[in-house]
Amino acid sequence: MTSTGFVSIVGAGPGDPDLLTRKAVRRLRRADLVLYDALVDPRVIAIARRASRFYVGKRAGRHALTQDAIHALLVRAARRGLLVVRLKGGDPFVFGRGGEEALALTAAGIPFEVVPGITSAVAAPARAGIPVTHRGVSSAFLVVSGHDLSAFEAAVNGTQPDAVTLVVLMGMANRARLAASLIERGWPASTPAAVITGAWTPEEHVARCTLVELSLASDGAPDAPGTLVFGEVAALACAAVAATYESRERASAR
Amino acid sequence: MTSTGFVSIVGAGPGDPDLLTRKAVRRLRRADLVLYDALVDPRVIAIARRASRFYVGKRAGRHALTQDAIHALLVRAARRGLLVVRLKGGDPFVFGRGGEEALALTAAGIPFEVVPGITSAVAAPARAGIPVTHRGVSSAFLVVSGHDLSAFEAAVNGTQPDAVTLVVLMGMANRARLAASLIERGWPASTPAAVITGAWTPEEHVARCTLVELSLASDGAPDAPGTLVFGEVAALACAAVAATYESRERASAR
């Protein structure tokens, strides 16, 4: 008789495998089955050496599997006694549909856990030297999806740029429209903005501009991943100097 | 001649050492000097075996060191050639004053990096089975400090409970007043609320109630750490069942 397996809903963080948690690494190493999404770095997936690994993600509305099919797969694999890792970019509960999967597992009586990951909402700005909160500048930050313009507008309604930093995930495709919408809602055209792509991957890039400049730029490709930051903190220049920890460590090797 | 050292501004996450990133663990193991804040778990500090370790935090307005003194200490230690870890609970750029320290290091020409940590703003709700975003329920979340009531009110101004999940850090001392303030601002009295303390530590506790119930409760102790969640997601019941990964792993040991 097989005992029931276990599902770990694991956040893979922003890309760099060194930003995985120790718990995530351990779960990946022991996994029998890994179901992963788009935007999970291949170096992270490779840690699950002994597991069968399947892509179940979606890009631009095209799904490899429906959400219901993913739920069914998780339940079936756990009932067969497997240690399953459901691997998601960033954190599973930040736009990751992890809540839906947790509810489905709860309903099916499957034991599971959530292993939080580093969310790009905080780590992508950090990589660009931008603190989402900063004493005397911003004591709150709003994380919102830029995928759906009307949901975005409902979420930012009433926000004041001197009180809140705005962090937009999944907003590259609509970035000009999002910026224009904020100006219409009373955000000053001169509000600093940052467009961060590929943070914590070898392709990282940061562009700084203002809200009006972004509103006049073109929208991005439908699938471009990236993080937008709007607010005074986006102008802070606490970028790390060029030296890296690794170069310092080599220099001091005795 | 001594080469310049290096400062790593490191997020310690919510408590559980298994939620440290691999990079954070490596930095701690190699550190010569660790300056840590209140709310960093002793099990995390203990990883820095070869380092001198100093508490520089503050509780209830009483500072072990002023912020300027911390900056001076970081600069002086790096100039002496040390590998310094500046260790903060959660993420360094989420209410951690990491931005101020990064600016001070930039101004002094000290090489440094930021190592993001798992923020309690997401991980504490997750531990309670609460996803801060959830399809069809909430597509945005606002993270705000509850320490200063007027800053809180500026940040939540205009928010709509059907569009935004509200996550309050440092709000235990004012929790009843914060809840009352939301009701005054038009949030329904029946809005679900969760009060999470000690998440990811052996002392974790979750209380679920409504906004009006919380407004009628008493405020917390001045220093009580905890996370408040307001919004429909706080009523979701995707709590993990009692079995743990460890118990499953033991059962399957062959």
CA distance A213 to chain B (A): 25
Per-residue exposure over A85-99, b if at least 16 CB sit within 10 Å of its own CB, e if not: bbbbbbbbbbbbbbb
Q: Which pair of structure tokens corresponds to residue B243?
A: 């079995």
Answer yes or no: do B140 and A144 touch at CB < 8 A: yes
Place of tokens 């200063």: B148
From first to last of its 254 residues, what are the pLDDT tens digits of chain B?
Answer: 457 899 999 999 999 999 999 999 999 999 999 999 988 999 999 999 999 999 998 765 666 789 999 999 999 999 999 999 999 999 999 998 999 999 999 999 999 999 999 999 999 999 999 999 999 999 999 999 999 999 999 999 888 888 899 999 999 999 999 999 999 999 999 999 999 999 998 888 999 999 999 999 887 777 778 999 999 999 987 665 445 787 776 666 54
Q: Which of A23, A32, A58, A219 is catalytic?
A: A58
**Is the overall model pTM greater than 0.90, yes or no?**
yes
pLDDT, tens digit, 9 for 90 and up, residues B236-253: 876 654 457 877 766 665
Q: Which of B26, B92, B144 sits opposite A139 (nearest CB)?
A: B144
CA distance B9 to A89: 23
Active-site annotation holds for A88 = no
Question: How many Å separate Cα A204 from the centre of its chain?
Answer: 14
Helices and strands in chain B: count of H runs, count of E runs: 9, 12
Distance from CA of B213 to the nearest CA of A (A): 25
**Do B240 and A111 make contact, defined as CB atoms within 8 angstroms?**
yes
Find chain B residues with C-beta within 8 A of A126's C-beta.
91-93, 114, 116
Q: How far is CA A74 from CA A17, A39, A46, A84, B187, in A?
A: 24, 20, 20, 7, 37
State which residue of chain A sits closest to B16, comparing Cα positions: A23
How does pLDDT run across A162-194, given as a tens digit for each residue?
A: 889 999 999 999 999 999 999 999 999 999 999
Give one DSSP letter per residue of B187-224, joined into a string. Answer: --TT-EEEEEESTTSTT-EEEEEEHHHHHHS----TT-
ipTM of the complex: 0.94
Quote the CA–CA distance of B200 and B121 in Å, as a whole number: 12
Torsion angles phi and psi, residue A3, rounded to 5: -75, 155
Q: How many CB pairs under 8 A join A and B?
A: 265
**Whether residue A62 has pLDDT greater than 80:** no
DSSP A163: T
Q: What are phi and psi of B129, to 5 degrees?
A: 80, 20
Helix (H, G, I), strand (E, B) or coil at B135: coil
Reported as a single tens digit per residue, the pLDDT across A2-56 is: 578 999 999 999 999 999 999 999 999 999 999 999 889 999 999 999 999 999 9
Can you tell me the distance from the alpha carbon of A74 to that of A88, in angstroms, rounded to the nearest whole number? 14
Report the residue of A120, A204, A248 to disrupt the B interface, i.e. the one with the largest count of B CBs within 10 Å: A248
Is A170 an active-site residue? yes
